[in-house]
């Protein structure tokens, strides 16, 4: 079997927990704002650090200040994938749960790829990982990053229509 076939098997087996599916079906359906990582070169090292100023997400040589740990965890998944732009939920109460789901999907994908190709060489498994990550990046980029500023509904329930 080829590395592409292994990667496709992993995607099929993940089904509803496939990371781009979570992104397009759950995240993009809610009110979001877009976030731009800037230029990410190669496979940057992603690390979350707690500092005196708050939580930072280190992506390669860049330090990104995050409002809380949940947002840092959420963005870290997309930084590992190498996405340039992503949608971030505007409702901060949803970010933690989504970060859990995205992290689980990410780790499950890598573990499943390693399990499926256990008898193969380390180089072959790394190729499968690379193919999966490229597939994630492409599908997330195709889904888009949402609007730069969240949309706000102009009408309210408090005001009666026509008055």
Domain residue extents for the chain: 3-43+76-143
With vertex at residue 113, the alpha carbon angle to CA 25 and CA 37, rounded to the nearest 5 degrees, is: 50
pTM: 0.85
What is the pLDDT averaged over residues 130-146? 92
Q: Look at residue 145 in the predicted model and tell me its pLDDT.
A: 83
Within 13 Å and on the Cβ side, how many CA atoms surround 92?
7
User: H-type helices in 82-163, by residue range?
Assistant: 92-116, 122-143
Mean pLDDT of the chain: 88
Is 51 or 43 the better-scoring residue by pLDDT? 51
- 37 vs 108: CA distance, rounded Å: 24
- Region of 103 please: left (phi>0), alpha (psi -120 to 50) or beta: alpha
| Tens digit of each residue's pLDDT (9 = 90 or more) over 149-163 | 656 666 656 555 555
pLDDT of residue 150: 58
Distance CA 115, CA 3 (A): 13
Query: In this predicted structure, what is the pLDDT of residue 1?
Result: 83
Q: Which of 10-14, 42-46, 87-91, 107-111 has the lowest mean pLDDT?
A: 42-46
Strand-strand pairing, 85-89 and 62-66: unpaired
- Is the pLDDT at 30 greater than 60, yes or no? yes
Sheet holding 54-59, edge to edge: 46-51, 54-59, 62-66
């Amino acid at each position: 079997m080829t590395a592409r076939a292994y990667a496709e098997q992993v995607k099929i087996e993940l089904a509803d927990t496939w990371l781009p599916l979570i992104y397009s079906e759950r995240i993009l359906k809610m009110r979001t704002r877009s976030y731009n990582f800037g230029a990410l070169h190669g496979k940057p090292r992603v690390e979350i650090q707690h500092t005196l100023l708050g939580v930072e997400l280190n992506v390669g040589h860049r330090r990104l200040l995050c409002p809380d740990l949940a947002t840092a965890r959420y963005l870290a998944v997309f930084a590992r994938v190498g996405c340039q732009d992503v949608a971030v939920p505007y409702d901060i109460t949803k970010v933690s749960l989504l970060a859990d789901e995205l992290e689980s999907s990410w780790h499950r994908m890598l573990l499943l790829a390693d399990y499926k190709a256990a008898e193969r060489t380390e180089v072959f498994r790394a190729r499968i990982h690379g193919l999966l990550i490229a597939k994630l990046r492409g599908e997330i980029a195709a889904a888009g990053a949402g609007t730069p500023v969240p949309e706000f509904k102009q009408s309210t329930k408090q005001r009666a229509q026509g008055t």
